[in-house]
Amino acid sequence: MTSVTSLFAPVDADLCQLTENLKQLVGARHPILYAAAEHLFGAGGKRLRPAIVLLISKATSAADITPRHRRLAEITEMIHTASLVHDDVVDESELRRGVPTVHSSFGNRVAVLAGDFLFAQSSWYLANLDNLEVVKLLSQVIMDLAEGEIQQGLNRFDTGLTLEAYLEKSYYKTASLIANSAKAAGVLSDSSSETCRNLYSYGRHIGLAFQIVDDLLDFTGSADALGKPAGSDLRSGNLTAPALYALEEKPYLEVLIEREFAQEGDLKQALALIEDSKGLERSRELATHHAQLAVQHISSLPPSESRQALIQLAEYVLSRSH
């Protein structure tokens, strides 16, 4: 199994520079945010989103990555981080990647400020890329992230949630950022509109595959590997692919979810029902389907080390589910 770090080798130096820039940007002028910046952009982040932007930039640009590509990668990571910080406030999460969240370490005050500062800085960077199409693509992402968080709030413990609605929410919360920033990288490289559409589809499908695998790991991973207790999503009423598939086979699961696991042992029983269903296997197949679609959409790019990394990334995403 390849490690994700080695996959990002073609853009490794760029990613290090990006992390330093972001730490400086958030931390340097504001002692209040310094600790938060170390926390947010320190060790542990996979930097998946900027890595995809940089790899696509490299795979599509005639010469090397341009400063505007790099700025786009920073914007992508800033929007992602801002939404994480605010999501953790909204969801009242205590842990992320095994470390305490910003709001639990520094309070809601700093978490709201840090998120707002990152959103603000990213919208300013964005405007100054001087490309209206890119501004539109990324402002759509910011809308989608807010919409996804609201939908997730509305649909808690709703056993009538369809798989389509789940995929839509996953698009809003995860895939939209990857899809639109992948396309924006193509726009900055002056790629053809067909290439840009393909880059969008690559991002959309790899984003969905990534989210489905993440949702699967919430059931199959250890608390240690997840950095939070297993079954967290289900417990909070966030119904993901494994639970939705299992509901088709196990009518009693509906009863447990509808009463919000109010009785002793409800959650444990629900987890056992899902484990005993085809939910996990079917979710893995769904992720595989989207990862394959992702790869198909970049097959027409000219062969390069970066294109190869983008293809292997799809395999890597799936490998996490085993």
DSSP class of residue 95 equals E
Q: Output the smallest distance, CB 124 to its own copies, in A.
A: 5
* Comparison of 180 and 189: residue with beta carbon closer to its own copies: 180
Residue linked to tokens 């795979």: 59
The end-to-end CA distance of the chain, in Å, is 11
DSSP class of residue 289 equals H
* Comparison of 36 and 301: residue with beta carbon closer to its own copies: 36
* Comparison of 66 and 140: residue with beta carbon closer to its own copies: 140
According to DSSP, the residues that pair with 287 across neighbouring strands are: none
Burial class of residue 6 in the structure, from the number of CB atoms within 10 Å of its CB (0-12 exposed, 13-18 middle, 19+ buried): exposed
Question: Is 35 among the residues that bind its own copies (CB under 8 A)?
Answer: no
DSSP-based three-state secondary structure for 257 = helix
Q: Which stretch binds its own copies (CB under 8 A): 93-101, 139-147, 215-223, 272-280?
A: 139-147
Question: Is 132 among the residues that bind its own copies (CB under 8 A)?
Answer: yes
* Comparison of 117 and 171: residue with beta carbon closer to its own copies: 117
Of 184-243, binders to its own copies (CB under 8 A) are none
Return the H-helix or E-strand segment holding 60.
Answer: helix 48-60
Of 85-104, binders to its own copies (CB under 8 A) are 86, 89-90, 92
Q: Output the smallest distance, CB 59 to its own copies, in A.
A: 26
Cβ–Cβ < 8 Å for 141, 97: no
Q: Which stretch binds its own copies (CB under 8 A): 40-48, 53-61, 108-116, 171-179?
A: 108-116
Cβ–Cβ < 8 Å for 191, 60: yes
Question: Is 177 among the residues that bind its own copies (CB under 8 A)?
Answer: no
Map residues 143-172 to x or -, x wherever contact with its own copies holds by CB under 8 A.
Answer: x-xxx-xx--xx------------------
Out of 105, 140, 236, 269, the residue judged to bind its own copies by CB under 8 A: 140
Instruction: Kindly report the backbone phi and psi dihedral angles of residue 187, in degrees, each rounded to the nearest multiple of 5, phi listed first.
Output: -60, -45
Q: Output the smallest distance, CB 162 to its own copies, in A.
A: 18
Q: Around Cβ 223, how many Cβ atoms within 10 Å?
A: 13
DSSP-based three-state secondary structure for 305 = helix
List of residues 6+ apart from 83 with CB closer than 8 A = 115, 145, 149
* Comparison of 11 and 239: residue with beta carbon closer to its own copies: 239
Residues that bind its own copies in the complex, under the rule CB under 8 A = 30-33, 86, 89-90, 92, 108-109, 112-113, 115-117, 119-121, 123-124, 126-128, 130, 132, 135-136, 139-140, 142-143, 145-147, 149-150, 153-154
